[in-house]
Amino acid sequence: MSDTAAPQLRCGSISLDLSSPIVMGVLNVTPDSFSDGGSFALQENAVTHAGLMLASGAKIIDVGGESTRPGAESVTVQQELNRVVPVVEMLIKEYQCLVSVDTSSPEVMLAAAEAGAVLINDVRALQRDGALDVVAKLDLPVCLMHMQGQPVDMQSNPQYSSITQDVSAFFDRRIDACLAAGIARDRLLLDPGFGFGKTLAHNLELLSHLNRFTSYGLPLLVGMSRKTMIGQILDKPVDQRLFGSVAAAVLAVERGAHIVRVHDVVETVDALRIVEALRLRNN
Ligand code: 8Y4
């Protein structure tokens, strides 16, 4: 197997250069209460926030309408469509930016792609009925993320014989399933899924050995921003995890991550520019 990912990722008509680290900005369109996410105010707000992230150096905006936080309840496909599709449309119209859609529903993948999304980010790695076929037809890049269990119960008692081996075996199975469904290998990205059915020890082992996953020769995406693992190490609530999250992003890129999914774009972009300066100096 090759040890270097393709330096370019084809996303629709745009080619993303992965030879330096890419920041993906998180755009949640999940209302906390009172509305179903279809409200115009919430959508306007989301678009403004995306504009700030793009101006700060985010190269991709990841739009999600399903909360996959530990213990989160599931949403209907219609709720997800109402939340995600108008925002994708507005982002393309306003900024002509690269939009990724964070979804596991084939209906949402299709509708978001029609609205202009060029990357599918699926925390369930195309395991829902119909998802493989839709992505094969769309011919868009797709991120295959590892998760043990489902969001509602994934943190109850995560267990592995060896986390890196288990995650690799999962990647092997999902890559095979994608190829069998007619998805080209150069459409795939991999993500070990920090926090998705993992204890702190599991997450640290994954981060420590992240470079093992570069042997697939596929782009690696990671998300640790503000997550519980950062909170556990720092013993701090979600609004005080900025510096820890930035450190985690730096460590991940040092270990081979190509794309980092983050909330705090300015800070992460600056930190990664330092990493990049040293990398260029040493090459
Ligand atoms: C505070 C902040 C507490 C964030 C929890 C969270 C990933 C992902 C998520 C990831 C990829 C989250 C959609 C979870 N995490 N997609 N999505 N990789 N590819 N939780 O790690 O941010 S949502």
pLDDT, block means (10 residues), the chain with 283 residues: 70 93 95 66 93 98 89 86 96 98 98 98 98 98 96 91 98 98 98 98 98 98 98 98 98 98 98 97 93
Measure the CA–CA gap between 80 and 85, rounded to whole angstroms. 8
Residue-level pLDDT at 38: 67
Both structure tokens of 184: 């080209």
pTM for this one?
A: 0.96
Residue 70 CA to ligand 1 center (angstroms) comes to 10
Residue-level pLDDT at 30: 84
Residue-level pLDDT at 262: 98
Residue-level pLDDT at 40: 83
In ligand 1, the atom with minimum distance to the C-alpha of 195 is: 21
Q: Are strands 8-11 and 14-17 parallel, antiparallel or unpaired?
A: antiparallel
Q: Which domains does the chain have, with CATH numbers?
A: 8-282 (3.20.20.20)
CA 98 → CA 22, 59, 141, 208, 264, distances in Å?
A: 12, 7, 12, 30, 18
29 lines ligand 1 (CB under 6 A): no
68 lines ligand 1 (CB under 6 A): yes
Residue-level pLDDT at 36: 64
Q: Which helix (H) or strand (E) holds 186?
A: none
Measure the CA–CA gap between 225 and 92, rounded to whole angstroms. 25
Residue-level pLDDT at 39: 81
226 lines ligand 1 (CB under 6 A): yes
Measure the CA–CA gap between 193 and 148, rounded to whole angstroms. 9
CA nearest neighbour of 56 among 277, 276, 283, 262: 262
Q: Which helix (H) or strand (E) holds 148?
A: none
